[in-house]
A = this chain, B = another copy of it.
Amino acid sequence: MTAPIRVTVWGENRHEQLEPSVAARYPDGMHGAVAQGIEHHLGDGVRVRTATLDDPEHGLTEEVLRDTDVLTWWGHAAHGEVSDEVVDRVHRHVLAGMGLIVLHSGHWSKIFMRLMGTSCTLRWRAEHDRELVWTVDPTHPIAQGIPHPMIIEEDEMYGEFFDVPAPDETVFLSTFSGGEVFRSGITYRRGYGKIFYFRPGDQEYPTYFHDGVRRVIANAVEWAVTVRPERAAPTLLRYDTDDFYRGHGYEGPLDPEAEAALAEPAATTSDEDAR
């Protein structure tokens, strides 16, 4: 991979506008801090842009997504304001091969819930917990160069039970000084896309300036780039016997006669079925 990785850092950017303490902590926005961390670690190996909720189409147009190898996602206060159309679009791109890194409170974003199929609920507490991030998959590329454990002096607590599917790979487990535990670095493959969820990071703490946290995100960016040559979603196709390579488009679930007998509305429905 010699061309730079094209990264889009998405930030909700609401706390920064509504809460002066957050604005002071993250003067370039939380998305700005995340973007700078990636650039710091990957340098010329990446080309990073940012996008936020208030941008037209949340900054995630078809054109932008087509030009994005890896998307990072941080949201919290306004998950409900993200338009379903944009969520559909991001979902489609992930299944077609775009990498996705979901950060912290992004666990409750529409896109993460769509990809997981679960409630993505957990236990939490915003106090002064110290977080220790332990590596349980030491050969995983995302864990390279990360101390074992990595210490985050103060961060919000997330605890189990975290209602997500059993991860494909569990890279990190976090403990908190209060005694809780969390599967804090986990990977999934959905369609042709690679997904990494990473727990640390909150508007109330300067977590995205923590060098180890930044390094994890940078490692994950490199990991999440697909090795497939082109972006194309999985499709449903019919294959004739002994013809393994040339699939035919789907023509609806009913036999032609039954199909013809149906009124227009039902025919439309079967088109929808076929997407």
Q: How far is the CB of A12 from chain B (nearest CB, A)?
A: 10
Inter-chain contacts of A258 with B (CB < 8 A): 15, 18-19
The total of chain A residues at the interface (CB under 8 A) is 95
* B139 with A255: CB separation less than 8 A: no
Inter-chain contacts of A191 with B (CB < 8 A): 118-119, 163
Inter-chain contacts of A162 with B (CB < 8 A): 136
In the assembly, what is the distance between CA of A133 and CA of B161, in Å?
12
Inter-chain contacts of A227 with B (CB < 8 A): 139, 141, 144
In the assembly, what is the distance between CA of A273 and CA of B258, in Å?
44
Inter-chain contacts of A137 with B (CB < 8 A): 166, 189
Report A227-275 residues with CB < 8 Å from chain B CB. Answer: 227-228, 233-242, 244-245, 247, 252-255, 258, 261-262, 266, 269-270, 272-273, 275
Q: How far is the CB of A76 from chain B (nearest CB, A)?
A: 5
In the assembly, what is the distance between CA of A148 and CA of B122, in Å?
13
Of the candidates B139, B144, B161, the one whose C-beta lies within 8 Å of that of A135 is: B161
* A173 with B181: CB separation less than 8 A: yes
In the assembly, what is the distance between CA of A124 and CA of B252, in Å?
13
In the assembly, what is the distance between CA of A139 and CA of B76, in Å?
29
* A181 with B134: CB separation less than 8 A: yes
In the assembly, what is the distance between CA of A254 and CA of B139, in Å?
33
Q: Give me the 4 closest cross-chain CB pairs, A-B, nearest first.
A: A80-B269, A163-B234, A121-B236, A77-B253
Extra inter-chain contacts (6) besides given A114-B117, A173-B183, CB under 8 Å: A78-B270, A97-B139, A118-B234, A124-B238, A165-B189, A170-B170
